């Protein structure tokens, strides 16, 4: 069973309890000084704990930021793809017997699934309509103005910007997880040695060991096979993108923390 973020937070609390109690109980503190755990060495443990606590908070903040950016990108994608797919469906019917225009607008084949693919395909589509009056004049009867097409293109740009920000947030989150895990391993190494020494020193005084609550640390860590931990101890859930031709209503992946090859993908577009 892998460590979760909650395990990390619990270990953080248990570790500081143990270190502080070793200094508050005179009988323990005095004996530990004789075994090399003077104020300087205890401070090392406190500093490692402080670094770990800070890393946990940084990771939590980064996770929340990535979630926020993912939701923004998902919303931007839904809006942009709905407008785009609606026009694609309309023009496929309008120009179904005019292969040259179908080719120029890129209406043949499936819609791109990836975020970058959607951006490239839809941008080409709008720019073609905006820059080629020969084609644009054929759709004027639908009361679609160039201002409307430009506004739709801006929606694609909004999604592109939001997607880049989500990717950046994902990178920051990954770094925060690495830093948290490194801080955890350093503290855990110090705590294991501290526990080993205490169990030797107080082997005949189990009541003092009980005051240090080493068992709480063991209970938290006993399920993990190594000190290397995944970001959150679980695989994030993803909802699959769907798009229906009639209503052009979409839902997009809502991965909350990480591991998407691309932030938002446009799966299952109409062919």
Per residue in 44-74, pLDDT (tens digit) is: 999 999 999 999 999 999 999 999 999 999 9
Residue 147, φ and ψ in degrees, nearest 5:
-65, -40
pTM for this predicted structure = 0.73
φ, ψ of residue 242 in degrees (nearest 5): -130, 150
Domain boundaries, the chain: 5-228
Q: CA-to-CA distance for 155 and 97, rounded, in angstroms?
A: 30
> Which among 271, 248, 249 has a CA at the least distance from the CA of 86?
248
pLDDT in tens, the chain (271 residues): 345 778 888 899 999 999 999 999 999 999 999 999 999 999 999 999 999 999 999 999 999 999 999 999 999 999 999 999 999 999 999 999 999 999 999 999 999 989 999 999 999 999 999 999 999 999 988 999 999 999 999 999 999 999 999 999 999 999 999 999 999 999 999 999 999 999 999 999 999 999 998 887 776 766 444 333 433 433 333 333 333 222 333 334 333 333 343 344 333 344 4
Would you report the helix, strand and coil content of the chain in percent, each value rounded to 5? 70, 0, 30
């Amino acid at each position: 069973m892998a460590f979760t973020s909650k395990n990390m937070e619990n270990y953080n609390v248990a570790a500081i309890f143990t270190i502080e109690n070793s200094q508050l109980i005179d009988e323990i503190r005095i004996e530990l000084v004789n075994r090399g755990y003077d104020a300087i060495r205890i401070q090392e443990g406190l500093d490692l704990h402080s670094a770990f606590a800070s890393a946990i908070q940084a990771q939590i903040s980064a996770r929340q930021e990535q979630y926020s950016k993912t939701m923004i990108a998902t919303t931007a994608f839904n809006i942009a793809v709905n407008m785009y797919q609606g026009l694609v469906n309309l023009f496929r019917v309008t120009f179904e017997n005019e292969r040259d225009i179908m080719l120029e607008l890129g209406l043949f084949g499936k819609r791109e699934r990836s975020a970058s693919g959607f951006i490239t395909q839809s941008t080409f589509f709008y720019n073609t309509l905006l820059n080629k009056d020969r084609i644009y004049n054929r759709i004027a009867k639908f009361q679609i103005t160039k201002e409307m097409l430009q506004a739709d293109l801006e929606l694609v740009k909004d999604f592109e910007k939001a997607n880049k920000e989500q990717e950046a947030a994902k990178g920051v989150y990954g770094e925060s997880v690495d830093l948290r895990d490194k801080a955890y391993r350093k503290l855990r190494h110090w705590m294991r040695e501290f526990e080993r020494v205490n169990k030797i020193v107080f082997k005949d005084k189990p009541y003092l060991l009980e005051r240090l609550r080493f068992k709480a640390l063991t209970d938290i860590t006993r399920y993990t096979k190594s000190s290397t931990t995944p970001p959150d101890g679980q695989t994030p859930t993803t909802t699959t993108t769907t798009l229906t031709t009639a209503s052009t209503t979409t839902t997009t992946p809502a991965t909350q923390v990480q591991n998407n090859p691309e932030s938002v993908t446009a799966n299952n577009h109409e062919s």
